[in-house]
Amino acid sequence: MSEAIEIYKANNHEEASSCLSNLITENISTSKNKNFSIGLSGGSTPKLAYSMMLNDIKDFSNVIIWTIDDRWLPLTDENSNQNMINSNFDQTNAKILSIKYSGDNPYNDAELYSQTLKENTDSFDSGVIGLGNDGHIASLFPNTAGLNENEKLIIANEVNIISKWRISSTFNLLSKISNLYLLVTGDNKKEILINALNGSDLPINKLLKMREKTVIITDQDV
């Protein structure tokens, strides 16, 4: 594959969030698939975009929402991405594929979620990810074992940040998403975004090289 990057430049976080919501809404309206799947990330950055999607997407009946990655924590924990996604979209009639937390074995939970995706999604249509200050995407952090997984869709990755384990999409899965949106806002993200665009040896760069096209939505001049 050949790397291609399309950048949408917004004036601020609100405008970037609106752009993301509009793009996903357009993806849904033009899709010829029976069902439309969206992979969502947690954190504070996409919250506004998700609230806008609730207004912009008029019909969620054919929408399947799945989770890009999460900390291996109970779903009631305030640091759970799944908790955040559910709280935003439970009010819709979308089909939400939640990561389950057993508390016993993160590897088993990752395999269970991978099977859930295989059984409920025919395609990966859109996805939303962010960019960490260290260049990580999803829960694929620098110097972690998950960077070397090339076959599975979902893995347990030991990161020891907030929680010891993360359940994460792999590069393999992220490369399969038809329309992948990288939402990067805030002055604190400008340096890492510039590094990524200049071809650094970071997790984000490995993903960009694997994909035919990635859309970056940012309020930074890069």
Domains of the chain: 5-218 (3.40.50.1360)
Q: Quick one: pLDDT at residue 5?
A: 95
State how far the Cα of 48 lies from the Cα of 33, in Å rounded to an integer.
Answer: 27
Q: Quick one: pLDDT at residue 2?
A: 45
Indicate the DSSP class of residue 173. Answer: H
> Which residues lie closer than 8 Å to 141 by C-beta, 6 or more apart?
132, 134, 157, 159, 161, 203
State how far the Cα of 209 lies from the Cα of 214, in Å rounded to an integer.
Answer: 10
Average pLDDT of adjacent 10-residue blocks, the chain of 222 residues: 82 98 98 96 96 97 98 95 97 97 97 98 97 96 96 96 92 98 97 92 95 97 92
Q: Quick one: pLDDT at residue 3?
A: 62
State how far the Cα of 185 lies from the Cα of 129, in Å rounded to an integer.
Answer: 12
8-47 as b/e: b if 16+ CB within 10 A: bebeebeebbbbbbebbbebbeebeeeebbbbbbbeebbe
State how far the Cα of 178 lies from the Cα of 175, in Å rounded to an integer.
Answer: 8
Q: Quick one: pLDDT at residue 165?
A: 97
Q: Quick one: pLDDT at residue 1?
A: 39
